Amino acid sequence: MARPSTLPPALDALLSHPAARPLLARHGRERLKEGLRASADRLRRGELSAPDGGREELTALLVEETARRLEARPPAGPRRVLNATGVLLHTNLGRAPLAEAAREAVQAAAGYCALELDLSTGERGRRSDHVRGLLLALFAPGREDLDALSVTNTAAALLLALDTAANGRPVAVSRGELVAIGGDFRVPSILARSGASLLEVGTTNRTTLEDYREALDAGAAAVLKVHPSNYRIVGFTEEVPLPGLSPLCRERGVPLLFDAGTAAPVRLALGGGQPPLPTPLDAVDSGADLVCFSGDKTLGGPQAGILLGRSDLVRRAGRNPLARALRMDKLALAALAATLDLHLSGRGEEVPFFRMLATPASELQTRARTLVSRLAPEGVAAEAVPSEATAGGGSGAGSAIPSWAVAVTSPRLSATALAGALRSRRLPVLARVAGDRLLLDLRTVDPSEDGELLDALLEAVRG
């Protein structure tokens, strides 16, 4: 039990202290009361030393301690971090960072905006029109037989496509493509939520055209092909590509859906000996009737799911009641429109993902050596080392992009502890642990962030 001299003042006395007034204005009464109670509890437990003097000094101490802890609170919502992992599309870090033009568009749309208003007529407009024309111009120029629609994310796009095409009936999917990606994206679960039933085809490693034929004979109303994203099945395998499957689907009059996962405006090489990623139009020209892909992966935009394909199917998807539940909000629409416009304007290098991908390894090496030269006088053991970055975000298994990193060791902290110290900063830094060294890969660090990275390293190493 605390001694009488260290019993905290009453809460009303703490709240009425002059130093508490600005805290009350900034943080609100309930949060301030919660903070004052926490400080009083620390005093009772002996974690705070009572000052010499009377109750006034003790009150001032508790208010000061509360102010310090309130100011140290992390901001609400996702926090900005420095990504030194070398994973360009890091799902846990929000995937693609937005271009400056996209950020400006978000800011412009944050207030009142013409989201669903045709300014020329004063009549109600359609929010999808903000990106529909841009999507078609970028991904299907000159193709009047195709249409496009955007929704909240790729899972939503697939859900909408399945509900529209199958309408509660069976959908044929190869067992080798019943993928689970990330924490909770599972193709069978999405299919079930759409109301359709799963008709598994073939085996895990082998699916033939005859397997699909048998599924259609059994009543499948649609066929779904799924890009494997972040895994590969090797060895004794067989699958039916889109060009081989499309004639059968057309013969039977059933739509062929393709979940591409990720897509870019051009065939994109991501290293690691993997073939370039096909474009959505490649998939359509290979026989897919409807293609689903993401806006926040190799397109470099905000979270979005995009449907591209046969005009009649896309129009049906747009009229589906689910489309309203899955529609994009004004901020994501603004960012997506700005990103698409950059690509169409020939300014794709302003999209951070493409800029990071295109940065020569020699530039990263120079930056790494510069950082090491600035760490050395401070007594930090560091060296510039070759590294391998990766596209990430389910954009392809085995992508390997040559890079350079700053490798840091500390006599006081293990590499794991040093990584923890960097994450706990006001501006957290994410890095990779490799044995007894911490690697900070510069391919995912913007040059403008090098100074912040240096400060973070010095602070973490010094403790």
pLDDT for residue 182? 56
CA angle 212, 162, 294 (to 5 degrees): 105
Whether residue 77 is contained in a domain is answered as no
For the segment 341-365, the average pLDDT, to the nearest whole number, is 96
Q: How many domains does the structure of the chain reveal? A: 3
CATH of the domain at 457: 3.90.1150.110
Are 163 and 300 in the same domain? Answer: yes
Are 157 and 300 in the same domain? Answer: yes
Are 362 and 345 in the same domain? Answer: no
For residue 172, the number of C-alpha atoms closer than 13 Å in the C-beta half-sphere is 27
For the segment 368-379, the average pLDDT, to the nearest whole number, is 95
Q: Are strands 429-430 and 82-83 parallel, antiparallel or unpaired?
A: parallel
Of residues 167 and 408, more confidently modeled: 408
Per residue in 210-249, pLDDT (tens digit) is: 999 999 999 999 999 998 766 666 767 788 999 999 999 9
CATH of the domain at 217: 3.40.640.10
Whether residue 30 is contained in a domain is answered as yes
Asked whether the beta carbons of 219 and 170 are under 8 A apart, the reply is yes
pLDDT band at 52 (very low <50, low <70, confident <90, very high): confident
Residue type, position 285, single letter: D
Which residues constitute the domain of residue 42?
Answer: 23-72
User: Which residue reads 């190799």 in tokens?
Assistant: 298
Are 338 and 361 in the same domain? Answer: no
Q: Does the structure show a pLDDT above 50 at 138?
A: yes
Are 37 and 124 in the same domain? Answer: no
pLDDT for residue 397? 57
Whether residue 365 is contained in a domain is answered as yes
Of residues 437 and 273, more confidently modeled: 437
Mean pLDDT of the chain: 91
Are 232 and 327 in the same domain? Answer: yes
Are 338 and 360 in the same domain? Answer: no
User: Which residue reads 């496509």 in tokens?
Assistant: 161
For the segment 153-181, the average pLDDT, to the nearest whole number, is 89
Sequence-distant (≥ 6) Cβ neighbours of residue 270 within 8 angstroms: 276, 277, 298, 357, 391, 395, 396, 399, 401
Per residue in 178-208, pLDDT (tens digit) is: 876 655 667 777 777 777 888 999 888 889 9
pLDDT for residue 170? 93
Whether residue 7 is contained in a domain is answered as no
Q: Does the structure show a pLDDT above 80 at 88?
A: yes
Q: Structure pTM? A: 0.89
Q: Which of the residue ranges 14-18, 82-86, 98-102, 236-240 would you say has the lowest mean pLDDT? A: 236-240
Per residue in 387-405, pLDDT (tens digit) is: 999 998 766 656 789 999 9
Are 121 and 37 in the same domain? Answer: no
Q: End-to-end CA distance of the chain, in Å?
A: 34
Q: Tally the residues of the chain.
A: 463
For the segment 287-293, the average pLDDT, to the nearest whole number, is 97
Collapsing DSSP to helix, strand or coil, 105 comes out as: helix
Are 64 and 87 in the same domain? Answer: no
User: Which residue reads 């009488």 in tokens?
Assistant: 4
Helices (H) and strands (E) in the chain, counts: 18, 16
For the segment 361-383, the average pLDDT, to the nearest whole number, is 95
From the CB of residue 404, how many other CB atoms can be counted at a distance below 10 Å?
24
pLDDT band at 168 (very low <50, low <70, confident <90, very high): confident
Whether residue 363 is contained in a domain is answered as yes
Whether residue 9 is contained in a domain is answered as no
Are 129 and 241 in the same domain? Answer: yes
Of 143, 183, 115, 455, whose CA–CA distance to 308 is shortest? Answer: 143
Give CA–CA dist 180/175, Å, rounded: 12
Of 100, 127, 101, 131, whose CA–CA distance to 114 is shortest? Answer: 127
Are 235 and 251 in the same domain? Answer: yes
pLDDT for residue 178? 80
Whether residue 378 is contained in a domain is answered as yes
Task: Look up residue 292 and give its DSSP letter.
Answer: E
pLDDT band at 1 (very low <50, low <70, confident <90, very high): very low
Of residues 50 and 387, more confidently modeled: 387
Are 378 and 333 in the same domain? Answer: no
Whether residue 360 is contained in a domain is answered as yes
Domain termination residue (choose one: 308, 328, 350): 350
